[in-house]
Amino acid sequence: MGVHKRYSALGRGLDALISTDDVRPQGSSTINEIEIGQIEANPNQPRREFDEEALQELANSIREIGIIQPITLRQVAEDRYQIIAGERRWRASQIAGLTAIPAYIRTIKDENVMEMALVENIQREDLNAIEIALAYEHLLSNSGMTQEKVSERVGKSRTAITNYLRLLKLPAQVQMALQKKEIDMGHARALLSIDSPSLQIKVFKEIQKNGYSVRKVEEIAKQLNSGEDVTVGKKVIASKTQLPEEFNALKERLSSFFSTKVQMTCSPKGKGKISIPFANADELERIMAALDKMND
């Protein structure tokens, strides 16, 4: 039999050392020791990747002191159980050579499993941003829940859920970097404000190359959205916004008048700006003199 021993309680003094799960009870539950081989991972588990080094460290701790907090399972067949929460400890227990592991056995409906796993991991901030986004998408697509209902269940605002779902619209290589935590949510949100996927990728590559802060990326996005080309190092990222022909004519007239290359940008909505560059104080003085002459 898979159930070896019934526990009345387990100590929690070493929770800081071993990752714990605090899943709110739904349905009935019992606590038992279950054979490792009778446990299977939840295919809808939000977590997609497990750090091998961290798993080994946890396995070493488990060898020394055992499992402090039980994992959470549901029974799917006789002597077969599926993980609701605690897959990391289950994996580490296998590495540690355990043959059985303490577990809470919960009786819940199938549609509650993903929800419980998601809530548990989000509360502990175990998931990366893309995993959370995919989990939200799964809940919305497969459970028939609305964003408002998901918001209530996971304790997050609808705005937060919407922001996570928007991440799935980013180019694949940007999503992968976010999943690997090579960039953070702030970078991702700034990139999302850029309409063109090709420009998103170009800016993303500059983030990787130069380690730009979120504020820097926001500035770049703002410039590109206003139709302005952006210079990063020796490279220019073109906004690809073409000035109307009459604007180009005006730009040339201004450049000729000030004897310098005037820059003009214009967004598709007609908003833009004119900038007059100068190389030194003498050039600035000459430009100011030209402006004064206009007022005479």
Strand segments, DSSP code E, in the chain are: 3-6, 28-35, 39-40, 71-77, 80-85, 100-107, 230-232, 235-237, 263-266, 272-275
87 as an active site residue: the answer is yes
Catalytic residue among 52, 53, 57, 87: 87
Q: What 3-state DSSP class applies to 274?
A: strand
CA–CA separation, 272 vs 254, rounded Å?
Answer: 15
DSSP secondary structure code for residue 44 in this structure: T
User: What pairing do the DSSP bridges indicate for beta strands 80-85 and 71-77?
Assistant: antiparallel
Angle at 174 between CA 170 and CA 178, to 5 degrees: 105
Burial class (CB in 10 A: 0-12, 13-18, 19+), 134: buried
- Scan for tokens 């310098």, then name that residue: 260
Give every CB contact of residue 66 below 8 A, 6+ residues apart in sequence: none
- The token duo for 182 is 């090579």
Active-site residue list: 87
